[in-house]
Structure 1
C-alpha cells in the first residue's frame, strides 16, 4: 500500500498509525508541522495552490490509496481544495484503487432531533457545511469519472487521546451548557481509523456515517467525565444566556440523531467505542485520555 494523506491532522494521524502502510506521504501547510510529522510519513507542503500541486505531483506516483482530510474552501467559489489542482494527475494514476474522504455529519443540518441516515436530506445552513456538501459531490463525481470508488465518511464530534471531556475538566475549560432537547453524536478517533481501514479493505464507495450509537446531551457527557475523575462537575449554564463564540453557538443550531447501521452492515465496522460512557471509562482506566 502507498497511502497519500491530504491533511495529516488528528484523524489522519490515527489512520496512519493503525494501517502502518508500506509507504505513506502526508501533506500539511506548515513547515514546522511537516518536520514534526516526518516520523509518520514522507511529508510535503500543500496549500491548494497550483505551485504546491506541481511540486507534489512526483509524490503521487504509484499511490494506491488516498485519504482526504482537508477542510474545503468556503464562499461562492468554495469546495474541495485538492481536486481543482490535482484531479488530472490523480486520474492518471492507474494504481489508485480506493479513496476515503473525511466529511462531517454537519452536512445534514438541523432535523429537530430526529434520526438521520445516509438517505436523509442534507439541510446545511453554515458556510462550512455548504462547502462540505459541495466537496463531497466533487469527490463522488471524480470517482465516477476516474473509475475509483470514493467513500465519503461523515464524522460526528471527534474525540480521543488529548481531546476529550476528561482533558477539559483537568484543564478547567469544561462547561455544562444546557439547551433542552439538544443532543450530539460523537466518534472516537480510533473508530474513524477503523472505518477508513474497512473502506480500504472492502473497496466500498458512497456515503457512510461514522458515529457512535448514542446521541446524548452534552451536559451529561461532562457530568459522567467528572464522576469518573471524582471531581465536582462545573455548574450547568443556560445555553441562551451563555457567552459563546459565533462558531460554538452555531453547532447548537443543528439538532439530530445520526444512525450508523450502514457502516456496520456494508463496511463490517465493529465500533470499539460505541458510546461515550464506554469510551470515557476505558480511556480513564487505561490512562489513554491525555
Structure 2
C-alpha cells in the first residue's frame, strides 16, 4: 500500500512540532538551544526542534551532540541558503555582519530567503548597544535616537532597519535585542581575567566610561522570551542592572580573582598603549534602561549584576 505523505504545512498545528532556526549558533546560540531543551524536560513536554545554520561542516557533529540539527550554509553565499525557505516557525538571528562595508549583506540575504517561503511567526535579531554611540553616561532607553560612530555599529543599524522594515511590510513579528558586553565564566574570553593577566590599563576615574553587561545565560533566556512574547517590530535592551564604570568593573574582577588591579592612565596615554578596537569601547559611555525586558518579556534575570555573575 502506498504511503500517505501530507505536506508539513497542511498538518493541523497541534500535530506539528515547532521548528526554531538559529542563525549564528555560536556560544549564545548553543545556550539558547540548551535552554529550550531544559524547559521541555522540566515541563515534560515535547520541546521545539532546534535547527542551526553553520558555515563549517566540521561543526555539524558537535551540534548534533547538543541535540541541534545542523544545516550547512554560508550567509555570504545566497545560493547556499535556499533550504531555509519556509523551514522554520521561529528564527533567532545572532550572526554578526561582515567585517567591512556600509551594509549588512548577510541580513539582507536572510530577508531575501525568508520572503520566498512561508514566513516564520517571529524573528529575533541580536544587535548591539553600540548603535547609540557615545551618550556621555546618560541613561538610555529604546526610544533614543541612534548615533553610530563606527562602521561596525553602522552595519548593525542597517541590519536592524532592514529586518524591522521587512517585518512591518510582511506581517512577520520582529524583535531587536540591543546587546552590551556578554560575559560568562564558561565562555571563551568571557571574563576580564585574560585582560588582567596582560596588565592592560584602564582610564582614570575622571576619564572613565560607563559600561554595560549581560550574562550569556540571561541573554539566551531573553532571546527565548522575545521569540514567544515580544511585541511586533519592537526593540529591547538585553542588559542587566549593573551601573558601573569600566575601571570599576576590572577592579571588581581583579579583587575576586586575587589579582592586581589594572593601572589607571589618562585617555591620552591609553591611546598610545591600547589597540583601536579597545579604545573605541572606551570612547562610548551610556547606561542602559532594561525595563522592557522585565515588563513586556517578563524576564527575571538570574544574574542581575556582574558581581553575582562572576561570583557564581
Using structure 1 for the length normalisation, give the TM-score. Answer: 0.87
Q: Contact 1:184–1:217 at 8 Å: present in 2 too?
A: yes
What is the distance in 2 between the residues matched to 1:74 and 1:230?
37
- Tell me which residue corresponds to 1:188: 215
Shift in Å at residue 174 of structure 1?
A: 5.7
Q: Contact 1:176–1:218 at 8 Å: present in 2 too?
A: no
Q: Please tell me the root mean square deviation across aligned C-alpha atoms, in Å.
A: 2.2
What is the distance in 1 between the residues matched to 2:226 and 2:33?
14
* Equivalences for residues 80-91 of structure 1 within 5 A: 80-84=105-109, 86-91=110-115
SS of 1:214 mapped into structure 2:
coil
What is the distance in 2 between the residues matched to 1:153 and 1:174?
33
Change (3 A) 1:165 1:72: closer
Q: Please list the CA deviations of residues 61-106 of structure 1 after superposition, one character each: whole Å capped at 9, or x if unmatched.
A: 441110101112365551241433x434423543611110000000
Compare CA radii of gyration and give the structure with the larger one.
Answer: 2
For structure 2, the residue ranges without an aligned partner over 5 or more in a row are 1-17, 38-46
Shift in Å at residue 11 of structure 1?
A: 1.6
Q: Please list the CA deviations of residues 197-248 of structure 1 after superposition, one character each: whole Å capped at 9, or x if unmatched.
A: 2112214231000101123122222222222233333433444323211111
What is the distance in 2 between the residues matched to 1:129 and 1:145?
24
- Tell me which residue corresponds to 1:18: 35
1:151 aligns with 2:175: yes
Q: Contact 1:186–1:215 at 8 Å: present in 2 too?
A: no
SS of 1:81 mapped into structure 2:
helix
Q: Please list the CA deviations of residues 128-173 of structure 1 after superposition, one character each: whole Å capped at 9, or x if unmatched.
A: 101101100100111122211100000011111233335427x823
What is the distance in 2 between the residues matched to 1:204 and 1:278?
30
Using structure 2 for the length normalisation, give the TM-score. Answer: 0.81
Change (3 A) 1:80 1:115: farther
- Tell me which residue corresponds to 1:168: 194
- Tell me which residue corresponds to 2:20: 3
* Equivalences for residues 21-36 of structure 1 within 5 A: 21-36=47-62
For structure 1, the residue ranges without an aligned partner over 5 or more in a row are 283-290
What is the distance in 2 between the residues matched to 1:26 and 1:68?
10
